[in-house]
C-alpha cells in the first residue's frame, strides 16, 4: 500500500514517479516551489488536478516569462477558474520568478540554493510508520526558507520549504512498507 494516492490514478502516478525523487533544474524547481506555495492550506490532490492549468497560466513556469507578468496578467490569473485564484499566492509566484531571474543574473541558481540545504541523510532511519511521524518542518527547511527569503522569494516558510524538499527528493519520507520506499 502506498503512503498516499491509492485509488486515484493521477495521485498514484505522482506518488510512484515524482514524490521523493530528486529534481534539479531551475524551471522544474520553480514549478515545484510555486505549486507547494499554492497548496498551502489545501489538499495536494487539488493542486495536482489543476497542474496542467497552472502550467498554462504560468508559461510552463518559465521564470523569465513569469517575471515579466504585470497587473493585467495578475487580473487574468485571478479570473482563471483552472487555478487557485488567490491574489497573494499569484503575486508571490510572479515575485519569485523575478527573484529567480535576479539570482541567475548574479551567477546563482535555484538548484544550487535549494540543494545546498539538503540534509546529510535523505532517508530517516527507521522510516516513519505514519505521517504523524513525519515533521512538517526541519532545521534544514527553516534554513532553506531563510535563504529563499534573503534572495527575495515570498510565501516560502519552513513548512512550504519542507514540502518542496519532500517533493523534490532532498528528503525521502515514503513510509515504511510503502512500495516506493527504497
Report the catalytic residues. Answer: 14, 36, 44
Q: What angle do CA 170, 158, 89 make, to 5 degrees?
A: 105
Tell me which DSSP letter residue 75 carries.
H
Cell numbers placing 149: 527569503
Please report, for the chain, how many H helices and E strands are present, in that order: 10, 0
Q: Give the alpha-carbon dihedral of 167, 91, 84, 156, to 10 degrees.
A: 30
Cell numbers placing 22: 530528486
Alpha helices in 18-119, H assignment, sequence order: 26-39, 44-49, 51-57, 63-67, 71-78, 87-105, 110-115
Amino acid at each position: 500500500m502506498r503512503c498516499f494516492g491509492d485509488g486515484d490514478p493521477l495521485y498514484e502516478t505522482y506518488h510512484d514517479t515524482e514524490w521523493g525523487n530528486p529534481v534539479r533544474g531551475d524551471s522544474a524547481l520553480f514549478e515545484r516551489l510555486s505549486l507547494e506555495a499554492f497548496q498551502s492550506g489545501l489538499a495536494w490532490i487539488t493542486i495536482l488536478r489543476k497542474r496542467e492549468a497552472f502550467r498554462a497560466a504560468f508559461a510552463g513556469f518559465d521564470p523569465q516569462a513569469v517575471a515579466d507578468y504585470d497587473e493585467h496578467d495578475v487580473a487574468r490569473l485571478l479570473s482563471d477558474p483552472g487555478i487557485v485564484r488567490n491574489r497573494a499566492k499569484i503575486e508571490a509566484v510572479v515575485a519569485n520568478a523575478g527573484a529567480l531571474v535576479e539570482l541567475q543574473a548574479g551567477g546563482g541558481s535555484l538548484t544550487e540554493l535549494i540543494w545546498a540545504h539538503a540534509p546529510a541523510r535523505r532517508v530517516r532511519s527507521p522510516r516513519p510508520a505514519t505521517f504523524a511521524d513525519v515533521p512538517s518542518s526541519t532545521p534544514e527547511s527553516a534554513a532553506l526558507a531563510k535563504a529563499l527569503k534573503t534572495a527575495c522569494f515570498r510565501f516560502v516558510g519552513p513548512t512550504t520549504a519542507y514540502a518542496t524538499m519532500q517533493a523534490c527528493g532532498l528528503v525521502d519520507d515514503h513510509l515504511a512498507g510503502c512500495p516506493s520506499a527504497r
